[in-house]
Chain A
């Protein structure tokens, strides 16, 4: 069998697990301001983890694609440290806050430029807008089968066998390659990358192609931003917390038991 070519789409976003006290909304600029470092969207990390497991089992080459107005190769190099073989950044001022179809369109153009591929993996949704659309639209654009919400993926000969989440449990489905699968967190977290390994990789010279609209032969007019008419702060979730004090765990537990008894 020829070498399996896997493409993982990974989005760089502000850390979605940043405490809500570190997130604010600039109503005038219609911007969410997150006081936390950027990370790879967690579900995309799950997708990369599956890709690496498939590579370990049947061999192959993993190419990570990341797209944005500005993409940081220090954030994205983590994918290479974890086990990806190549990284391509799709970067252009015109890629700012695009709606899902336009994002999928840019990714499809890049994938066509790459040429050969067997399996495309994306996270089930990105941790910023949580739209969950790009992967499925990308498959439609490329005219390939798609499976969503994978909890496990195996490549067998020229097909992919996926356990996908369904409300009653999971469904085993099969599709011929090339195919696209969106990945859920049930597959497990991206393996740990040691800091020393990450630091060494950051120093290593590496060719990271950067493609913009010009390289991809795209017209800027064809790309549509999200039509955001307004951005509001979230409803206030805070409550007045009564802290249960006590000199010992036993004393606290006693008072807590009273709270529970009063709830009835």
Chain B
């Protein structure tokens, strides 16, 4: 059938934003290949999601449905997707580079005896052999690799923002129910419980104020919070972010982390306090409209990417700034 297949993801029962980008990507690649694009919805109850995806003009929407596919259990999802891919033999498989894709991608590719490229920011078809040319940032973003691999299907995980989101339209897709032959024996990792925590959605902030290794003590984040409060009176939603070392120290939970393995955001303003600017952090915030850096080290990389810089100690600057903002 040699189609382009995408894995649909949902959030709170609706299609996840990342899925719209994959739909667009699949359509672009399918056109260049002269084939069709399809989607697979995985779960224990897939009808509603499949109906939503079917409005996007894809060829087919596969409903991969089984009681064991309730919630995301990697063992069951990998087994089901392996089975589906062996049934329909897609030419290309696209999965979002996020929580599900990070876990499913490598295992699925291994089982299909093919080679995965993760975290691609660009994809195109090689006109000479119809292979998939993958653009992948490496060394945290310090270089960009163009990679091709043998093997079928051609499988990749795709970074958020690689394609514009698709819009609904076109003929309604054919919805195909597929019942994977799963049993309990595929589940080798048992879920005991899920602990929900309050998570910040940094991508919804107008302004993000982040602290890094230069923040001396955990308590100092209180002054960042005070600045956020002062700014929120005039600047919309202001949230607190951080760089990886702050999470390593246990001062902040990982939902606050900005960068390659955290959130990739583009707020109106990003305020980097005591962040030297390792490239893994920069790739997460470089698309901010304005970048303001406060750091004691004039030579640090954050100043090279900032619009405004203040060389100085945040302990002196921030309290004074809060006072001025409140005047």
A interface residue numbers (CB < 8 A to B): 14, 16-17, 19-21, 23, 25, 32, 34, 46, 99-101, 104, 124-125, 127-133, 136-137, 140-141, 145-149, 151, 161, 163, 165-176, 179, 184-186, 188-189, 224, 226-235, 237-244, 249-250, 252-254, 256-257, 259-261, 263-264
Q: List B contacts of A25 (CB < 8 A).
A: 142-143
A132-B102, A133-B116 are known contacts. Are A254 and B308 too (CB-CB below 8 A)? no
Partner pick for B312 among A186, A224, A252, CB 8 A cutoff = A252
B189 in contact with A174 (CB, 8 Å) = yes
Question: Nearest-CB distance from A37 to chain B (Å)?
Answer: 15
Give Cα distance in the complex from A235 to B142, angstroms: 9
B106 in contact with A20 (CB, 8 Å) = no
B194 in contact with A168 (CB, 8 Å) = yes
Q: List A contacts of B180 (CB < 8 A).
A: none
Partner pick for B110 among A101, A151, A161, A244, CB 8 A cutoff = A101
Q: List A contacts of B117 (CB < 8 A).
A: 131
Question: Nearest-CB distance from B299 to chain A (Å)?
Answer: 9
Q: List A contacts of B141 (CB < 8 A).
A: 234
Q: List B contacts of A19 (CB < 8 A).
A: 276-278, 300-301
13 A-B interface contacts by CB (under 8 A): A20-B279, A23-B143, A34-B142, A130-B137, A130-B138, A136-B107, A149-B103, A167-B11, A169-B197, A186-B248, A238-B305, A239-B306, A239-B307
A254 in contact with B143 (CB, 8 Å) = no
B189 in contact with A169 (CB, 8 Å) = no
A252 in contact with B192 (CB, 8 Å) = no
B interface residue numbers (CB < 8 A to A): 11, 72, 74-75, 99, 102-103, 105-107, 109-111, 115-119, 133, 137-150, 188-197, 199, 231, 234-235, 244-245, 247-250, 253-254, 260-261, 268-269, 276-280, 282, 286, 290-293, 300-301, 303-313, 316-318, 320-321, 323-325, 327
Q: List A contacts of B307 (CB < 8 A).
A: 239-242
Q: CB-nearest residue of chain B relative to A15?
A: B278
By Cβ-Cβ distance, the 3 closest A-B pairs, closest first, are A253-B320, A169-B197, A257-B324
B235 in contact with A260 (CB, 8 Å) = yes
Question: Nearest-CB distance from A102 to chain B (Å)?
Answer: 9
Give Cα distance in the complex from A186 to B313, angstroms: 28
B310 in contact with A244 (CB, 8 Å) = yes
Q: CB-nearest residue of chain A relative to B190?
A: A174
A146-B189, A227-B149 are known contacts. Are A133 and B106 too (CB-CB below 8 A)? yes
A32-B142, A145-B188 are known contacts. Are A244 and B309 too (CB-CB below 8 A)? yes
Give Cα distance in the complex from A9 to B49, angstroms: 40
A137 in contact with B107 (CB, 8 Å) = yes
Q: List A contacts of B249 (CB < 8 A).
A: 188-189
Partner pick for A241 among B143, B231, B234, B304, CB 8 A cutoff = B304
A34 in contact with B139 (CB, 8 Å) = yes
Q: List A contacts of B260 (CB < 8 A).
A: 130
